[in-house]
Structure 1
Amino acid sequence: MPATPIDIARNLVLARFPRARAAWLGGSVALGTPTATSDLDITVLLAGPPAPYRESLRHESWPVELFVQSGESVTHFRVAERAARRPATARLIGQSHILLDADGSGERLRQECARELSEGPQRLSEKELRARRYGVTDLLDDLAGAQDANERLVVGAALWQATADLLLTANRHWIGGGKWLHRELAAFDQAGGTDFGRTLADGMRAVALGDVDPMTAVVLEVLSQVGGRLFEGFRADGPA
Structure 2
Amino acid sequence: MAVDGIDVARQLVRERFPEARAAWLGGSVALGMATATSDLDITVLMAGAPAPYRESLHYLRWPVELFVQTEASLEHFLALEHGERQPNTLRLIGRSHVLLDADGGGERWRALCAKLLAAGPDPLSERELRSARYGITDRLDDLIGSADPGERLMIAAALWQAVADLLLTGNGHWTGRGKWLHRELADFDQNAGTTFARRLAEGVRAVASGSVEPMVEVATEVLNLFGGRLFDGFSMEGPR
- Report TM bin, short chain: over 0.9
Aligned partner of 1:174 in structure 2 is: 174
Matches within 5 A, 1:69-108: 69-108=69-108
Amino acid of the residue matched to residue 88 of structure 1? N
Aligned partner of 1:117 in structure 2 is: 117
Cα-to-partner distance string for 1:47-80 (whole Å, 9 max, x where unaligned): 0000000000000110000000000000000000
Amino acid of the residue matched to residue 190 of structure 1? Q
Matches within 5 A, 1:1-240: 4-240=4-240
Give the C-alpha shift of residue 124 in structure 1: 0.3
Q: CA RMSD in A?
A: 1.0
Q: Equivalent residue of 1:177, what SS? A: coil
Aligned length: 239
Runs of 4 or more above 6 Å deviation? none
Q: Equivalent residue of 2:34, what SS? A: coil
Identity of matched residues, %: 65
For structure 1, the 5+ residue unaligned runs are: none
Amino acid of the residue matched to residue 229 of structure 1? R
Give the C-alpha shift of residue 167 in structure 1: 0.5
Q: In 1, distance between residues paired with 2:225 and 2:180?
A: 23
Cα-to-partner distance string for 1:163-200 (whole Å, 9 max, x where unaligned): 00010010011011100000000000001100000000
For structure 2, the 5+ residue unaligned runs are: none
Q: In 2, distance between residues paired with 1:105 and 1:193?
A: 38
Under a length normalisation based on structure 1, what TM-score does the superposition of the two structures give?
A: 0.98
Q: In 1, distance between residues paired with 2:68 and 2:16?
A: 11
Give the C-alpha shift of residue 4 in structure 1: 1.5
Q: In 1, distance between residues paired with 2:7 and 2:30?
A: 12
